Amino acid sequence: MIVLNHNMLDGKIVLLTGAGGGIGFEAAKAFVEMGAKVLIAEVNQEKGEQATTYINRQYYNAADFFHVDLANKIATEQLCEDILSKYGCPDIIFNNAAIVITGEIGEVNLEEWDLSYSINLKAPIILTTLFLKKMRKRNSGCIVFVSSSGAAPYLGAYEIYKTAQVEFCNALSMELEGTHVYTYTIAPGLVKTETAARSIETVSKAMGITTNEFYHQNEDHIIDVHDAGIGFAISVLKASDYHGQEISSLQALNDFHNSPVLTSSSCANEDYELPSVELLMKIIRTFMIQYNGWQSRNVFERQWVLRDFKKYMGVPAETVKKEFDRIQKEVENGIGLRNISQKLFENLLYYWKHQLKLLRGFEKDEQKFNDYSRAIGEWISDIQMLLKIMEHEHGTEQMDTMSCVWE
């Protein structure tokens, strides 16, 4: 159980968009429990007023409501002016508001694309640009963006702008290096909210399954809306650590509990050693098993994993598979470790280290977390050992047949 107290964010001003219900409302309550003043920006006036009234009954004057349609540029700019006039520049901007447009890309009309762009990307950009100079001037602040699963069928008109938010955050984080203004992206995970339910109903139907079947297939990854909201709120306590990263609510919750992270060194057996070719083939088999596992996942998980792989490897998983197929054939012909890209394995090492870190944010079951961590730790150890062998055998004159791809 997480215990929040007023000392955590005492006196801080938090602008939280889309806080009339769901995760946003739960985050608003958590922010207030942490001592912050929450400015609820919500398009649904009834929900916004109800959320504000509820919070203020629990904590006197801890929330203020701003009725705003973030799809309207002028209204969004006016929101910033009103906040600056009444409270000054917020300490934290949490871009939670979203609209989910579903349907095949060819069937979504241009007005819907424009609406999704206005709320899911343009509004966060406006809020950022209008407050950023003041944050930089005082050299303090936190700007948080909310991501999703990445490219997925029937959600293109939504996911494309959520993905753009991630890249916007990445660029912003680099420009803010060396300051005390921090920015990061957080994913809520699979949460049963009204917004999520509507989109999942559409997508499940397109997949030929029921909504209940969809939730059953993904039950290990479902996170309670209350927990997701708390994860959103407490993540700002580690804003400097998360700067420039894409994290999840579950990761924030685990970090708050100071859960131990199993590293490759804790998983490795120092006495473990295989001949170089056998070790190479073991690594390739490990990747192939993982690759085949990705192909068997549902379309949403598969798309997210493959996108994440390409992001950290620089090339699609299919390209790596083809290269490993080539290596296997050459090894069978007795070529050994010659003509093999060291850069390929360095990138794979980087990706598996990323997976180990990512595991904290997406695996709720402690036993599974420990088992998966040990497995990934062994993969990391294998590659580290192979790289040492390759450096010893080839030195700096190693032939790199994949240099055009991996450099």
Give the confidence band of 181 by pLDDT, cuts at 50, 70, 90. Answer: very high
Q: Which of 256, 286, 303 is the last residue of a domain?
A: 256
Same domain, 362 and 305: yes
Whether residues 335 and 220 share a domain: the answer is no
Residue 204 in this model has a pLDDT that exceeds 70: yes
The verdict on residue 370 lying in a domain is yes
Whether pLDDT at 400 is above 60: no
Of 227-241, 245-259, 276-290, the range with the lowest mean pLDDT is 245-259
Q: What is the SS3 assignment for 30?
A: helix
pLDDT value of position 361: 66
Q: What DSSP string runs through 391-406?
A: HHHHGGG---TTHHHH
Higher pLDDT, 366 or 151: 366
**Alpha-carbon distance 59 to 321, whole Å?**
57
Is 76 a member of any domain?
A: yes
How high is the pLDDT of residue 266?
Answer: 34
Q: Which of 209, 228, 256 marks a domain boundary?
A: 256
**Residue 145 β-bridge partners:** 95, 185
Same domain, 199 and 72: yes
- Average pLDDT taken over every residue of the chain: 84
pTM value is 0.71
Looking at the fold, whether 21 and 114 belong to one and the same domain comes out as: yes
Asked whether residue 302 falls in the same domain as residue 382, the answer is yes
pLDDT score at 143: 98
Q: Return the CATH number at 115.
A: 3.40.50.720
| φ, ψ at 287 (rounded to 5°) | -65, -45
Write the pLDDT tens digit of every residue in 58-72: 999 999 999 999 999
3-state secondary structure of 248: strand
Q: How many residues does the chain have?
A: 407
pLDDT in the model for residue 275: 53
Q: Please say whether the beta carbons of 312 and 277 come within 8 A.
A: no
Distance CA 227, CA 87 (A): 29
Residue 183, domain extent: 13-256
Average pLDDT over residues 344-366: 81
In sequence order, what are the residues at sequence separation of 6 or more whose Cβ sits closer than 8 angstroms to the Cβ of residue 242? 182, 184, 186, 235
State the pLDDT at residue 244: 92
Domain check: are 246 and 269 in the same one? no
Give bridge partners of residue 64 from the DSSP assignment. Answer: 39
pLDDT of residue 267 exceeding 50: no
Please answer whether residues 85 and 134 qualify as being in contact, where contact means their C-beta atoms are separated by less than 8 angstroms: no
Q: Specify whether 242 is located in the same domain as 219.
A: yes
Which tokens in the block code for residue 360? 């904290």
User: Looking at the structure, do residues 28 and 164 belong to the same domain, yes or no?
Assistant: yes
Q: Is residue 390 part of a domain?
A: yes
Burial zone of 328 (CB within 10 Å; 0-12 exposed, 13-18 middle, 19+ buried): middle
pLDDT band at 364 (very low <50, low <70, confident <90, very high): low
DSSP letter (8 states) at residue 75: H
C-beta of residue 94 within 8 angstroms of C-beta of residue 144: yes
Give domain status of residue 8, yes or no. Answer: no
Which of 256, 279, 314 is the last residue in one of the domains? 256
Domain count, the chain: 2
pLDDT at 254 exceeding the cut of 90: no
The answer to whether residues 126 and 73 belong to one domain is yes
Average pLDDT over residues 27-48: 97
Task: Evaluate whether residue 300 is within a structural domain.
Answer: yes
Task: Find the Cα–Cα–Cα–Cα dihedral 273, 274, 276, 279, rounded to 10°.
Answer: -110
Instruction: Out of 161-165, 184-188, 390-394, 396-400, pick the least confident.
Output: 396-400
pLDDT attached to residue 399: 36
The answer to whether position 66 is within a domain reads yes
- For residue 231, the model assigns a pLDDT of 94
DSSP-derived secondary structure for 203-219: HHHHHTS-HHHHHHHTG
Give pLDDT, residue 315. 82
The more confident residue out of 24 and 303 is 24
Token readout for 39 is 């400015």
Does pLDDT of 402 surpass 50? no
Are the C-beta atoms of 68 and 94 separated by less than 8 Å?
A: no
Residue 164 confidence (pLDDT): 93
Is the model more confident about 347 or about 181? 181
Same domain? For 53 and 198 the reply is: yes
Residue 241 domain-assigned? Answer: yes
* 247 and 276, same domain (yes or no): no
Residue 299 lies in a domain: yes
One DSSP character per residue, 100-156 reads ---S-TTTS-HHHHHHHHIIIIIHHHHHHHHHHHHHHHHT-EEEEEE--S-S-TT-H
Q: Are residues 249 and 273 in the same domain?
A: no
Q: Please list, residue by residue across 185-197, b when 16 or more beta carbons sit within 10 angstroms of its beta carbon and e when fewer do.
A: bbbbbbbebebbe
